Each structure stands twice: as structure tokens, then as C-alpha cells.
Amino acid sequence: MDRYSLNSTYIPLLITAKSCLEKRDFYLANKKILSAIQACFDRPEAYNLLGIYYELQGKRKEAIKYFRISYFYDQSFVPASINLQRIVENTNKEIDFGI
């Protein structure tokens, strides 16, 4: 995906999804995250948000899965590593949305 498409489609979807997650609007957050993945499947940010989506609903295994997928797509994307470490170690550190 070129830089223009990334900025005009992908990033606004991520921003909206983050806002929905903060408001605990899981239905709309899920729709926006999946749309972001469809727009740009090989970027780590949306998978990180999907991990957060599952974590906030208490679905730990699914959250770990998506934090790992996020890390797979970009090992330099620090928020995925932080979130994965936090959930595996079961600490109360703050969630890193990564956007």
C-alpha cells in the first residue's frame, strides 16, 4: 500500500478504532479494526488493536495471538512487544495502543 492510501484510509480507521476501544464500544471497534486489516493486512498496528480488543473483553488467549501476529509483521513495532509482555506477565501496566 502506498503512503497516500495508508494515510487516507488505514490511519483514520485506526484512530476511530482506538477511540471505540477507549469507550468500550466493542462492536464498532471490531468493524473498524477489521476494515483496517482489509485495507492493509501486513501492518502491525491493526493487529495490536485487535489484541487490545480481545484483552479488554477478558479473552486472554486471543489477545496474545494478535499481539504475536502484530509482532510478526514488524518486530520493531514496540507496542506489540509491550502489550505481549504485559499480558504474559500479568502486570497492571498501561495498554499501549501504538497510534
| Domain range enclosing 28 | 3-89
CATH code (residue 80):
1.25.40.10
Which of residues 1 and 44 earns the better pLDDT score?
44
Per-residue confidence band for 4, with pLDDT thresholds at 50, 70 and 90: low
What is the count of structural domains for the chain?
1
Instruction: Give the 3-state secondary structure of residue 25.
Output: coil
Question: Is 59 within the bounds of a domain?
Answer: yes
Per-residue pLDDT tens over the stretch 59-87: 999 999 999 999 999 999 999 999 999 99
Per-residue pLDDT tens over the stretch 9-34: 999 999 999 999 999 999 999 999 99
Note if the pTM is more than 0.75: yes
Residue 24 burial (CB count, 10 A): 9
